[in-house]
Amino acid sequence: MIHSYKNVSHKYQQLMNNVSLEDFKRELNQVREYLKHIELVNEVSSYSILDTDNPKIKELLAKFQNHHRAFEKDKKIFEYKAIIISLYGLLEKFIEIWIKEYLDKIAQTVNYQSLNEKIREKHFELSMKLISMITENKWDKYKHLKKEDILKNLYQCIEIPDKYKFNTNAFTIQSGNLQHRRITDIFDNLAINLNDFLVKNDSLNKEIGFSKDKIVSSEKDVLYSKMNELVERRNLIAHGSERIDDLLTPNLLKVYISFLEKYSQAIYQALEQSYFEEESTHKYQKINIIDVFNKSIIAFELDNYLIKEGEYLIIRTVEKSNNLFYKKAIISLQKDNESYSQLMLQEKTNIAIKIEGYLTIFVEFE
């Protein structure tokens, strides 16, 4: 494996607001806690009342258990509906949030004329579609948008390419449910091959039991069938057609929750990887790596640069199947075995930096 490292920058530009990723985890955990609550309720409902129990407790338990028996079938249906709709809603909500955050960061980082041509073409095409949807006035979701603002943003992309704003809502127009293929189409508009990123994600691969060397490209959609199953179940509920004999048990629902967690976070990380690549290309200075020690100390050559603690290094790994980016903070500097908080390098100089945390990758050099 050959790993190349590049780029030092004065400013750290976080991909997206990490708060949104934490919000996703928190809201998904709420569904987990709801399932736990259901299990506790069911446990109480099966409790055998003893003669020695407190009279008030006996009375309340008897009332609860009678109600539970009468309501049990409807309760299971309601709980199933609530969980399936909540899981799908989380996916739809946060994919939209993350795509908008990604586009906002790209607009701050890449000149519009330097963008991938496909993004520019899709931005215009989808902006026109968004204007049409606003004109038809059928979608409450877009009532807060004005056609004039969308046109203004398009104009600034051409006239002020270094200070523009995407019509981010245009990229999240949803004509159809978010099955896996539909999600990959949305990412394709961003010039991101989502499947290529997902098959590199170790956490997701472990979740679905995927081995990279056992599937061809055309079969990749099969890997995420649980996503499509979740959408189908949500559609049946939305159209009032759930099968009583096909409700998922709490244990099976936990499987869906675990999959959705890994799948959604892999989508977030795909956007993060794509952003780091753009940022390294357009904002960072390339450096020549000499060696790496203890997975946390990097020696390299640099010139004509003021380097400081607190800046960041983007590290690109190059392997047969992976091409991943890591962003690491510089926490200390050394030159000739002496430590510095900053160094002004006017000629080619060998220095070493210690990064925050560790590299979880094996490193070799040609």
Do the Cβ atoms of 274 and 13 come closer than 8 Å?
no
CB contact at 8 A, 214 and 223: no
pLDDT of residue 13: 42
pLDDT recorded at residue 289: 82
What pLDDT, on a 0 to 100 scale, did the predictor assign at position 216? 54
Q: How many CA atoms lie within 13 A of 108 on its CB side?
A: 14
**Rounded to whole angstroms, what are the CA distances from 287 to 42, 260, 280?**
61, 38, 11
Q: Which residues of 42-72 are buried (b: 16+ CB within 10 A; e: fewer)?
A: eeebeeeeeeeeeeeeeeebeeebeeeeeee
Encode the chain (366 residues) as per-residue pLDDT tens digits: 323 334 444 343 445 568 999 999 999 999 999 999 999 999 999 999 998 999 999 999 999 999 999 999 999 999 999 999 999 999 999 999 999 999 999 999 999 999 999 999 999 999 999 999 999 887 888 889 999 999 999 999 999 999 999 999 999 987 668 899 999 999 999 999 999 999 888 899 999 888 766 555 556 677 898 999 999 999 999 888 766 678 999 999 999 999 999 999 999 999 999 999 999 889 888 887 888 888 888 888 888 888 899 888 888 876 655 678 888 889 999 999 899 899 898 888 899 999 888 765 444 433
Q: Please count the other Cβ atoms lying within 10 Å of the Cβ belonging to residue 329.
A: 15
DSSP category for residue 324: -
Report the topology of domain 287-355: Elongation Factor Tu (Ef-tu); domain 3 (2.40.30)
| Stretch(es) of the chain classified as CATH 2.40.30.10 | 287-355
pLDDT at 217: 53
Torsion of CA 206, 207, 208, 211, to 10 degrees: 0
Tell me, what's the pLDDT at 160? Answer: 95
Secondary structure (3-state) at 233: helix
- Nearest one of 91, 90, 112, 93 to 103, comparing CA atoms: 112
